[in-house]
Chain A
Amino acid sequence: MPRQANAVDFWRGFALVTIFINHIPGIFYERLTHRNFSISDSADLFVFLAGWSLRLLAANPGRASPAYLVVRLGGRALTIYIAQIMIIAVAIAMLAAAAVLLQNPLLLEWHNAAAVFHDPVPAHLGLAILTHHLGYFDILPLYVVLMAMAPGIALVDRYAPRLLLPLSLAVYFAALGFHITLPSWPVPGEWFFNPFAWQLVFVLGFVMARADGAGGYVRRRIVWLRIASVPVVIAGALIIWNDWWPDPTKVPQPVLLFIQSKSYATPMRLIQFLALMALFSALYPGIRRAAPWLTEFLSMLGRNSLNVFCVGSLLSLAGQIVRFIYKGGIVVDTAVVAAGIALLALTAWLSEWRDREKSRRLAASPAS
């Protein structure tokens, strides 16, 4: 049986829907997502909640042996890797099909796909080793690296829980201070999501999910933290609306500590994100009372996040191609979003239906 609707699945579902919309640049409905008033966006939410879910994965079932933990979490990293390889293969095929059917070679250059078509030998290697990313298909490579780190995170958490956050912060500040990241190849550059910076968002989710330690500390003081968060979130909105970003050429060294960069999940962004989380988390009980169908719906998406994310990534690209063919417009945008969300829901529903059928059949024939 799928678990009951809960806040974590609900916000995960929310993140999945907003990522789907935000990944169709220019679509009307992207004006409605929270990044229009928030420095952080659904990517931060997605990674934070992935860390939160890691807590469930690492804690269940009970105190598994370290070896089992490593294999289980490592297996999860492999699953995400397979998902990434599958969706980029389909994405490349979609771009190729669109270019051929529309007789428009421009589409082959879209989203960094040019290297795949014009220089396939190194580009394919880059795709396989996750150093060549297509535009908007760059979150899962981050997720693979984070899950590859997950056994380490879970083991540190088990044997030296107090060390986890300081270690994570040390890696984070080293990455920002010394500009450490993973390179992209064969196209020279950097990963859009720097794993050494973003691991902190992931670890924060993991740590906050814990009922004691830092998570417990936050829970006990949540009211005060929410009060303190209000001015932070307002300041973030004012920065966005008035374009009050710090000038990256005028801040002190190390530059990354003082500016807004999504790639490096810089402190400015991270602090705003945590404040937003503190406030958002207060909303769930009210939403649940006012619109139970919405909590059920988004929780269903959140429970099946990897499947929904993969289908959502491809639907975003399909949405972009459809918008290109019909030249955008509110009618097309509405159709794209409505069809997209319906298909995301179908994906989640099918995943759960399959699981239900499987357990029903297992229950019916215990001998097999």
Chain B
Amino acid sequence: MARSGKISAFGRLARFVAAAALCALVAPHAVVPAAAQQVPSFSRECQPGNTATATESPLPNVAAALQRKKGKITILAIGAASTAGMGNVRGGYQAQLQRMLKAAAKGLEVEIVNRGVSGELAEQAAQRLKIQVGLTAPDLVLWQVGTNDALSYIEVERVETAVRETVRWLKEHKVDVVLVGLQYVSGMARDSHYQAIRVALRRIAQEENVIIVRRYEAMELIEKAQRAEPGSAVDEFANSETAYNCMAQYVARAISVTLFGRGLRPPQPAPPQ
């Protein structure tokens, strides 16, 4: 716990700096009144993932769309992420994401177009993604990518090329993108291919300056927090489901921190299970 506390403090500082910089960048474009903005906090079970779920990068096209379309944004969700949080009492991924983003900025209108096709590899998803951009003209693409490629042991270079090329294509077409990375499963922690894909996605996000929601770190923290509890058993299946349900919150937070990067709440310690 002490260790995750340190990460929290560091994460908070880093995020504050990033957010302050982004505020200056994004705020002048946003039409949403500053007083109404609030970065959503996590629900109890998702809190351990608070510290390291996202890297912040600007979302210039969403910011511009907010101004141009009077507070309305269209989000295209590609990949299995669109199924996440189904069983959650908060009404599923789409509803959750919408509600959290709306809560983050009053008057914000969020349209989410879900076009998840399961099982498809990054290369096929990339093709379909472009078609959907042509059909739905989104301001932001939420792309969960990598898991199927990892499970199918697709060469890392192939995955990296497909994702990077698509991220660049989206930028050229004035569409922002948020990548949702791999998730943490202890069985895959020592799988070099899985880790290579995870690293490749982070590298793309960093080099192309786009947001990546780091599900892996979030889940790793959830599990670490549990292991730190004396006498607690780690149920990986339950954790996986929890983290799955938390995805909407992580994504919503990543977006709202970037867009309205104010009102960051200090991460609270995880409650005992």
Task: Report 5 cross-chain contacts, Cβ distance below 8 Å, ordered by A residue.
Answer: A105-B236, A118-B245, A187-B86, A248-B135, A255-B135
- Interface contact A135-B118, CB-CB below 8 Å: yes
User: How far does the alpha carbon of A187 sit from the alpha carbon of B92 in the complex, in Å?
Assistant: 9
- Interface contact B245-A105, CB-CB below 8 Å: no
Q: Provide the B143-187 mask, 1 if CB < 8 A to any CB of A, else 0.
A: 000011101111000000000000000000100000000010101
User: How far does the alpha carbon of A261 sit from the alpha carbon of B84 in the complex, in Å?
Assistant: 25
User: How far does the alpha carbon of A261 sit from the alpha carbon of B115 in the complex, in Å?
Assistant: 13
Q: Is B131 positioned at the interface, with any CB of A under 8 Å from its CB?
A: yes
Chain B interface, number of residues (Cβ within 8 angstroms): 45
* Chain B proximity of A191: nearest CB distance (Å): 10
User: How far does the alpha carbon of A247 sit from the alpha carbon of B129 in the complex, in Å?
Assistant: 12
* Chain A proximity of B84: nearest CB distance (Å): 7
- Interface contact B152-A109, CB-CB below 8 Å: no
Q: Which residues of A contact B134 (CB under 8 A)?
A: 247-249, 251, 255, 259
- Interface contact B83-A179, CB-CB below 8 Å: no
- Interface contact B83-A261, CB-CB below 8 Å: no
- Interface contact B86-A102, CB-CB below 8 Å: no
- Interface contact A111-B241, CB-CB below 8 Å: no
- Interface contact A135-B120, CB-CB below 8 Å: yes
User: How far does the alpha carbon of A119 sit from the alpha carbon of B239 in the complex, in Å?
Assistant: 15
* Chain A proximity of B117: nearest CB distance (Å): 6
Instruction: Give chain A interface residues in 252-272, CB to chain B under 8 Å.
Output: 255-256, 259-261, 263
User: How far does the alpha carbon of A323 sit from the alpha carbon of B188 in the complex, in Å?
Assistant: 15
Q: Which residues of B contact A190 (CB under 8 A)?
A: 115
Q: Report the 5 A-B pairs with minimum CB-CB distance, sorted nearest first.
A: A135-B119, A248-B134, A112-B118, A105-B240, A26-B152
- Interface contact A114-B84, CB-CB below 8 Å: yes
Q: Provide the A178-218 mask, 1 if CB < 8 A to any CB of B, else 0.
A: 01000000111110100000000000000000000000000
- Interface contact A179-B114, CB-CB below 8 Å: no
Q: Which residues of B contact A110 (CB under 8 A)?
A: 118-119, 147-148, 151
Q: Is B22 positioned at the interface, with any CB of A under 8 Å from its CB?
A: no
User: How far does the alpha carbon of A119 sit from the alpha carbon of B93 in the complex, in Å?
Assistant: 12
* Chain B proximity of A363: nearest CB distance (Å): 46
Q: Is A245 positioned at the interface, with any CB of B under 8 Å from its CB?
A: yes
- Interface contact A114-B80, CB-CB below 8 Å: yes
Q: Is A161 positioned at the interface, with any CB of B under 8 Å from its CB?
A: no
Q: Which residues of A contact B87 (CB under 8 A)?
A: 115, 118-120
* Chain B proximity of A240: nearest CB distance (Å): 11
Q: Provide the B33-66 mask, 1 if CB < 8 A to any CB of A, else 0.
A: 0000000000000000000000000000000000
Among B116, B137, B147, B154, chain A packs the most CB atoms within 10 A around the CB of: B116
Q: Which residues of A contact B268 (CB under 8 A)?
A: none
CB-contact partner of B152 in A25, A99, A115, A179, under 8 A = A25
Q: Is A297 positioned at the interface, with any CB of B under 8 Å from its CB?
A: no
- Residues of A in contact with B (beta carbons under 8 Å apart): 24-26, 99, 102-115, 117-120, 122-123, 134-136, 179, 186-190, 192, 245, 247-249, 251, 255-256, 259-261, 263, 320, 323-324, 327-328
The answer to whether residues A320 and B86 also contact, given A105-B240, A106-B188, A248-B134 and a CB cut-off of 8 A, is no
The answer to whether residues A249 and B152 also contact, given A112-B80, A119-B87, A123-B86 and a CB cut-off of 8 A, is no
- Interface contact B135-A187, CB-CB below 8 Å: no
- Interface contact A248-B94, CB-CB below 8 Å: no
User: How far does the alpha carbon of A218 sit from the alpha carbon of B120 in the complex, in Å?
Assistant: 36
Q: Is B29 positioned at the interface, with any CB of A under 8 Å from its CB?
A: no
- Interface contact B185-A106, CB-CB below 8 Å: yes
Q: Which residues of A contact B151 (CB under 8 A)?
A: 106-107, 110, 320, 324
Q: Which residues of A contact B131 (CB under 8 A)?
A: 248, 259-261
- Interface contact A103-B82, CB-CB below 8 Å: no
Q: Is B4 positioned at the interface, with any CB of A under 8 Å from its CB?
A: no
Given A117-B241, A245-B130, 17 further pairs, Cβ under 8 A:
A26-B149, A104-B187, A109-B240, A110-B118, A111-B119, A113-B118, A114-B80, A119-B86, A135-B119, A187-B116, A192-B117, A248-B131, A249-B133, A249-B173, A260-B127, A261-B131, A324-B153
The answer to whether residues A186 and B86 also contact, given A26-B154, A135-B119 and a CB cut-off of 8 A, is yes
User: How far does the alpha carbon of A220 sit from the alpha carbon of B188 in the complex, in Å?
Assistant: 60
User: How far does the alpha carbon of A239 sit from the alpha carbon of B240 in the complex, in Å?
Assistant: 41
* Chain A proximity of B25: nearest CB distance (Å): 26
CB-contact partner of A188 in B82, B121, B135, B153, under 8 A = B82
- Interface contact B119-A112, CB-CB below 8 Å: yes
CB-contact partner of B153 in A118, A189, A327, under 8 A = A327
Q: Which residues of A contact B86 (CB under 8 A)?
A: 114-115, 118-119, 122-123, 186-187
- Interface contact A327-B152, CB-CB below 8 Å: no
The answer to whether residues A189 and B152 also contact, given A111-B119, A114-B244, A255-B134 and a CB cut-off of 8 A, is no
Q: Which residues of A contact B83 (CB under 8 A)?
A: 112, 114-115, 187
User: How far does the alpha carbon of A327 sit from the alpha carbon of B128 in the complex, in Å?
Assistant: 27
The answer to whether residues A104 and B185 also contact, given A134-B118, A320-B151 and a CB cut-off of 8 A, is yes
